[in-house]
Each structure stands twice: as C-alpha cells, then as structure tokens.
Structure 1
Amino acid sequence: MIQFLENIRAGIVQPRALIRAESTKRSYNLQLSKHRDIENVHTAGVNALDVDPMEGKYLLSGSADGSLHIHDLHNFTGSPHFTCKLICKVDRNLRTAHRFSVECVQWYPFDTGLFITSGMDKQLKIWDTNCMRPADMFDFEGRVFQHHMSQIATKNCLVAVASSVNHILLVDLKSGSCTHELRGHNGSTLVCRWSPRDEFLLATGSCDNKVLLWDIRSSKSCLKSLDQHNGMGRSSSEATNTAHDGYVNGLCFTHDGLFLLSYGTDHRLRLWNTYSGTNEMVNYGRVPNDMKKCMQFDITVDSDPKLVYVPSEGNIFIFEIQTGVKVNTLLGHYNSVNSCIYHPFYHELYSAANDRNVLIWTADHCQGAAYDDYLKSQNQNTEPYERRIFVRRNVVADTWSSDEEG
C-alpha cells in the first residue's frame, strides 16, 4: 500500500491502479464477516437483494412471505463490530404488501426515494420510501419472476418485466402504461437485464432455453438469439438456437457491458460477447442449479481480472470470468442461496437464502485483530493527567535562529 502511494506521488502509476489493486485483493479474499452482520428480522426465506446505487447506504430485501425490509449499512460507531439495523419494513399483514412471495426488488437508480418490487401475486409496485406506501401499481397476466430498470437510461423510464407469459413487457413509469410487448420466446420468461453500456439493449432468458438480445427502438424481432454452438451445432437456424440445454434463470452483464453471463438449469455458466453474440467457450465446470425461478448473481466492478459470485444450492462459487478458474467457495448458509449482490463502494458481498439469513462477506478479517491491538496499546500507554508533559509553543513567535540572519 505504501509503495503504491509513493509510486502515485512520483507519477509512476495512475491513481486508478491503486483502486484496481485494492479491489482485486478484497474480491479474492472474501470471508464471512466476523465483526459485522445484518439484523435478523426475516420470518421467511429471502429471495432478492439490492443496494442503493447513489449512496451505497441502504440494503433492500424481499421475502417469500411478501414482506420488505430496509437495513442501514453505514457504520458510524468507529468500531469494526457492528450490526446493520433495520430502519423500516413493510409487514406481510399490511393491506399494501404483496400477497405472495416477493421475487425481485430494485432501488430507483437515481434516487433512494423510490424502489420497485414484484412477485408471485402478479403485481409490480412502485414504492415511496418516505411513507413506505405504493405510489403506483401494475397488474399482469402471469406471475412476475424479475423486473429490471436501466441504470443509465436518460431518454426513457422503462421497466422490463419477465413473467410466466411468453413475452417481455416494458412498463413506462412516466405514462403509467405498458408501451412494448417483446415477442420471441416460446415459454415463460424468467430473467431480463438492461445493458449498462447501451440504454436501449435488453437481454432476456426463458424456459425455452434461449437468451435473446433486443434493441427496443426496433420494430422488428430480436437482434440476436444466442447460440451455444456458435453456428456449428445441429442446426444453424435462429429459430432453433439455444443458449443452454435447460431453463435460463440468470443473466448478468459485466460493468463495461462488453460481456454477458448466463446461468441455466443445465448446470452451466456461459460467457457471451455482447456485440458479436458469440459464445466465448469458457469452461466453468458444473455449477449445480435446479431452481425454476430467477437466480440473482453479480460481478465485481474494479477488480482485474473480474470475478463472478454465483449462488449454487447452499454455496456461493467464485470464478474468474475470462478463464473459468474457480477461485473459492463461500460456505455459511444452511439452505439454498437465492441472491448475491456485490457492493461496488465497500467491495464486499451480500447473500440471501431460504434459511432467512442475509450474510455479509468481507475481506476485513484482519482489521478486527488490528483494532483490538490498537485499543490494547492505547490502554497500556495511558498515564495520569498530572504526569503528562506538555510542550507549550507560541504560534506567532519568530523561530528563526541567529545563524540564519543576514
């Protein structure tokens, strides 16, 4: 660390290099935090998580019983031993709550005053955080598995909705109506994700084993149907192209938007080039996945190489994206893990599972010991007030020596 700072001062390396090196070190060394935890208030399995992108301060979670919770992640105590407290919730017994399981939650990208939830009651709700009541509500024909709003959109205010019907719906929050129906899948749509690079590019996954890329400005069908064989399989027809040999229930773009990761019930992860649509043929091995609903996984932001955190049954696997090398396996949950979210400010991971726990994975396992040593040294060096020696200085007096005069 000191050498990095010295090199930055001397102009040998760019300041960004320090951020990348520290992020990489933390991303590779995540462990279950021994000093920080999330207040356990959930009464059912936790299906979805999201950290607000503006301040990185609030953690939003949705449960299988329809309840919603918001925890404060900031630690102002000065001690590494800290419990993130619940600051507000929507109880399942309230009339405004979801009647069934909450499958997806998301903060409004530009303001923590709003957040969006959806679930098995076939509803999408836009919540006012200040009063914790729905500001608007949308009803759909099928159960909603996932929704997503672009983090970079400036010309639209669209929310993509994947549900048990065979088309993707785009809801405009400004007009309060459905503006698009994207038809191309032959089965229930399970996942949808906007590109972090192009505000008009949308990726969707379905029970028909396909991953489709859409440009929502086009009146034609989808841009690409991703083919796991890159056109070298049994058929080159786009109608029969499949990205997986099972349901596609997880999608995630890299932070630069150049690559897309897909996760399927064929127990495979696949890496795709976003612009060419080709399979990069990276072998991640077998990643057990038997869930018939959306799986939320995440990718690091500043680390080099980039890592992906993938929930698999009761474990969380860490892979290098470009090589497929398994870096580590995080063990801590007692039941199936449903969601992983990476905090880009703290470089730590939050995971939620059917065991009703939300866990924090950090790389600060050495900070607690260092803090304890610091306190011990402070206690040993303390002396009575009257025995301390103070040096009084006159801040306005001239301190030049006589030798330097003339």
Structure 2
Amino acid sequence: MNQLLLERSTGLLSPQRFARILTTQRIYAVQSCSTLRFDGGEKEVIIPEHDVSQPSTGLEPVAPKLWAHQAGVTALAVDIENRLLLSGGLDSSIRLWDLEDCPTDAKLTLKPTAAISRAASAHKFGITHLSFYPFDSAAFLSSSYDHHLKLYATENQAVSADFDLKSIIYTHALSPIAQHVLVACATQHPAVRLVDLRSGANTHSLAGHHGALLSLAWSPTLDYILASGGVDGTVRLWDIRKSSGQLGVLDMEDSTGIAGTDGMGKSSRSRDTGMAHHGAVNGLTWTDDGYHLVSAGHDERARVWNAATGANTLASFGPTLKNGHLSTLPLIISPTASTPAGQELLFYPSERELLVFELHQGRLVKRLKVPGPNIASVRSRTGERNIKNRITGLVFRGQADGIYSAHTDGQIRAWLPKTAEDKRLEIEEEDSLKRHAQDDEDEDGRRKRQVLNDVFTDLTRQKISFG
C-alpha cells in the first residue's frame, strides 16, 4: 500500500489506475462476514447450545435464532446510492434495510428500517423479484406468485400502482438507462409482457418463445434492446421499437457470429433458430459496458456471448455448476471499471456455495461456502417444514463494497472484502488492546502489592510487648 501511495504522489500511477488496483484487490478479497446478521424481528426460536451426547441439566446457555424472513428470503435489491437493501420473503413480506446504519458492538445485527408484514402485504403469495427505480430510490417494484406487479413508494411503503398479469411472474426488469419506464415481465405466458408505468397499461407483448419465461435483462447501453430466456432453451434478443420485435436467437453452436456489413451486426440477417442451452434458461445478465451477455441454464452450463455478433465465446466454467430450480438464477458480474480490461469476475450461486470465475477465461478463482446447515427448518403459513438451503438472491454493492445474498433458510448473508491490509490493521488493533489490557493488569497488580506492603510496614513498626 505504501508503495502505491508513493507512486501515486509522484505521478507514476494515475488516480484511475490507483483506484482500479484497490477495487480489484477488494473484489478478490471478498469472504463471508459471519458477524453481520439481519434480524427481521420475527418470533425467536431458542436453541440449546450444548453437546447432545451429554445429559441436559437445563442450565445450558441458549442462543436466539434470527431471521431476515423466517419463511425464506427469495429476492434482494439495492438502490442507486448503494445504501438501502430491499428483501422479499416467501411469506410475501418485504423489508427495507439501511446498510450504513450499523451498530458498533462486536456482533453487528441490522434491523429493518421499514417493513411490510405478511399480514399487511399487498401481495398474497411469495415475492419473486424486487427492484428499485433506476434513477431514484423513492420507488421500488415487486412481483409475486400471485400474478401481480406492484409499484411502492419507498418512504411510506404505500402501493402506487398495481398490475394484474393473470400469470405467475418469475422476474421483471427495468432498463438502467432508458427514458421510458417500461417494465419487462417474464411470466408463465410464452411472451415478454411490457408494462408502462406512466400510462398504467400493458403496452404490448413480444412473442417468440415456446413456453414460460424465466429470465430477462435490458442492455445497459442501448435502452431499446432486451434479452430473454425461457424453458424452451432459447435466448432471444428484442428491439422494442420494431413491430416484430425479435432481433434474433443465440445459438451455442455458433462461435463466429453474424458480422453484417460493418462487422458489428448491422444490416445482417437475423438468426431465427438455435438453442442457447439444453434446458431452461433461468439466468441472464450483461456486462455493464454492454459488450457481452452471460446466460445460465438447467444443463448446468454458463455461456458468454458477444453482444455485437451473437457469437458464443466458448468460455468454459467446468463441471462444478449446479442449477436445476424453476426460478430465476441471480448472476452478477463485477463492474468493468473495478478490474483491468477483460478481467471481470462472474459470481455464480451454485446451490450452497458462491463460485467466483474469471468471466472470459472461465477459471475458478474462489469457492465461497455458505455457512450453516444443509437442511434448514422454516415456518410458513402451512406450518414448519424442512428445506434444502440454497442461494436465491444476489446483489453487488457499489464498485467493491461487497455482496449480499438471500437464502431459503431465511438468512441474508454478507460477503465483504477483507484484504491483507485489513487483516494487518485488525492484528495491530488486537495487539494494542492486549497491551492496554496487560498495562491495566500490571497497574492493578502494582496497586495491590503497594497496599500489602503498607499494611506489612505498619504492623512491623508497632511496638510489641509481652506481659
């Protein structure tokens, strides 16, 4: 660190390069933070912490069990300021957390700043997806298994708009850059449904898939381009300005792509057939520069596509991927400005572990194991049941401020950067505390010895006579 500061101060290292080196180090240093917990305030279950092989005396210490959502967390979203975290539960409850409102004690326990309880929730069934408005944190959207898409005011959690799509909504998406406020919805219906928040109407549908849709993603650089993935194994690209809509289909067998007249796909003939995966496509995300699209399917494969030509880049991520649930798989990619060019990282939730890959090479960088039991006990409207714990939501905070994940065991877990510099500072702080404690102990010992010495001196100075 001192060397980097010296190079920056002398002009050998530009501020941009300096910032990129630091953010890269922090992203690579992400690890589980067990001290940060989320307490949704639901009724606690007391679990004795003792060896079950020993007879119980009834006096063993007990520890409270905390949940963000006791029935399971199904969705997460972070606002544009990277301060507010939104979570949704399988019991239809929604909670808002202030990530900067951290207590100072050793065990950091966050409590929600606002909540829409299960009893008061506008939804009747579990939440499938949450998202803040891209340009303002004053509003957020939620979709649910009850067929409804709802718009809320963040300040008072009041419902501003309600859209009934007459079909289960698996996910929805807002363009991060567009002036329009069209919400694309992936439902059981085999067409992308577009909802206009201004007019409050379903503007039109994009038809082409054969079966339910599980994933959607707007281009981060072109406000009219949308990608969708469905149970038919296809990934389709759409231009919402066109009457037909569809631009083409991605084909896993094509590693060349469609060049067109300018080498970038212009005036090229679109591909109408092709399979992106041998199974349902339930994960889609773009790199934030818009150059690449990443997809994940039930064939337990992830593929990286050239967005300009539609070519499969043939990046291979090995046989470690797990993906078999009929729900949207949350994929996230590190910001392109946080790492050197072409070295972005893909964070892939594979059941109970978070896999970190180099996006373009497919090399496994790190396996982050989810702490806790494989099987968790959760409570819902139908009673208590045991479920297999897995990751259901994933959000990246800021440029390199960590990752937050949602889990079916009801927990929200934090994955925060801990670099060698952070560890060194922690060790120095611990050593300093130990030294202060030792000094206090020595001072206390000196005082006690001085008191005993004074007592002994007083006794020896007294004249003793024998009668």
Unaligned runs of 5+ in 2: 40-66, 257-268, 375-388, 444-467
Q: Secondary structure at the match of 1:161?
A: strand
Correspondent of 1:303 among 339, 346, 354:
339
Q: Which residue type is aligned with residue 243 of structure 2?
A: S
Q: Which residue type is aligned with residue 395 of structure 2?
A: I
In the alignment, the residues of structure 1 paired with residue 432 and residue 400 of structure 2 have an alpha-carbon distance, to the nearest angstrom, of 23
Contact 1:266 1:289 in 2 (8 A): yes
Matching residue of 2:355: 317
Matching residue of 1:388: none
Correspondence 1:132 to 2:157: yes
Contact 1:35 1:368 in 2 (8 A): no
Matching residue of 2:138: 113
| Shift of residue 85, structure 1, vs aligned partner | 2.3
| Shift of residue 157, structure 1, vs aligned partner | 1.0
Matching residue of 1:343: 397
Contact 1:38 1:360 in 2 (8 A): no
Correspondent of 1:61 among 83, 87, 96:
87
Moved more, 159-168 or 366-375: 366-375
Correspondent of 2:365 among 301, 322, 327:
327
Contact 2:103 2:109 in 1 (8 A): no
Q: Which residue type is aligned with residue 225 of structure 1?
A: V
Matching residue of 2:237: 213
Count of equivalent residues: 378
Contact 2:102 2:110 in 1 (8 A): no
Q: Secondary structure at the match of 1:109?
A: coil
Contact 1:248 1:265 in 2 (8 A): yes
Taking the TM superposition and a 5 Å limit, the aligned residue runs for 1:227-246 are 227-230=251-254, 238-246=271-279
Cα deviation 1:22-53 (Å, max 9, x = unaligned): 22112222211143233333111111111111
TM, length-normalised to structure 2:
0.76
Matching residue of 1:357: 411
In the alignment, the residues of structure 2 paired with residue 28 and residue 156 of structure 1 have an alpha-carbon distance, to the nearest angstrom, of 36
| Shift of residue 141, structure 1, vs aligned partner | 2.1
In the alignment, the residues of structure 1 paired with residue 428 and residue 296 of structure 2 have an alpha-carbon distance, to the nearest angstrom, of 40
Correspondent of 1:256 among 268, 289, 292:
289
Contact 2:36 2:413 in 1 (8 A): no
Correspondence 1:372 to 2:445: no
Distance change in 2, residues 1:76/1:46 (3 Å): closer
Unaligned runs of 5+ in 1: 385-406
Correspondence 1:44 to 2:68: no
Matching residue of 1:393: none
Cα deviation 1:359-401 (Å, max 9, x = unaligned): 001122725444434545667789x9xxxxxxxxxxxxxxxxx
Distance change in 2, residues 1:291/1:198 (3 Å): same
Contact 1:48 1:296 in 2 (8 A): no
Correspondence 1:294 to 2:328: yes
In the alignment, the residues of structure 1 paired with residue 79 and residue 246 of structure 2 have an alpha-carbon distance, to the nearest angstrom, of 31
Matching residue of 2:463: none
| Shift of residue 79, structure 1, vs aligned partner | 6.8
Moved more, 308-317 or 34-43: 34-43
Contact 1:254 1:299 in 2 (8 A): yes
Q: Which residue type is aligned with residue 256 of structure 1?
A: D
Q: CA RMSD in A?
A: 2.3
Correspondence 1:85 to 2:111: yes
Contact 1:74 1:84 in 2 (8 A): no
| Shift of residue 307, structure 1, vs aligned partner | 0.7
In the alignment, the residues of structure 1 paired with residue 158 and residue 245 of structure 2 have an alpha-carbon distance, to the nearest angstrom, of 37
Contact 1:120 1:143 in 2 (8 A): yes
Q: Secondary structure at the match of 1:16?
A: helix
Q: Which residue type is aligned with residue 254 of structure 1?
A: T
Cα deviation 1:112-161 (Å, max 9, x = unaligned): 211100010000000011111211000002100000111111x3111111
Contact 1:47 1:63 in 2 (8 A): yes
Q: Secondary structure at the match of 1:256?
A: coil
Query: Equivalent pairs: percent with the same residue?
Result: 34
Moved more, 1-10 or 335-344: 1-10
| Shift of residue 19, structure 1, vs aligned partner | 1.9
Q: Secondary structure at the match of 1:86?
A: coil
TM, length-normalised to structure 1:
0.87
Matching residue of 1:123: 148
Contact 2:248 2:270 in 1 (8 A): no
Q: Secondary structure at the match of 2:159?
A: strand
In the alignment, the residues of structure 1 paired with residue 272 and residue 309 of structure 2 have an alpha-carbon distance, to the nearest angstrom, of 18
Q: Secondary structure at the match of 2:318?
A: coil
In the alignment, the residues of structure 2 paired with residue 14 and residue 330 of structure 1 have an alpha-carbon distance, to the nearest angstrom, of 33
**Higher normalized helix content (fraction of residues):** 2
Q: Secondary structure at the match of 1:204?
A: strand
Cα deviation 1:310-336 (Å, max 9, x = unaligned): 111111111110100011111125411
Correspondence 1:197 to 2:221: yes
Structure 1 moving runs of 4+ over 6 Å = 378-382
Distance change in 2, residues 1:4/1:165 (3 Å): same
| Shift of residue 274, structure 1, vs aligned partner | 0.7
Q: Which residue type is aligned with residue 67 of structure 1?
A: S
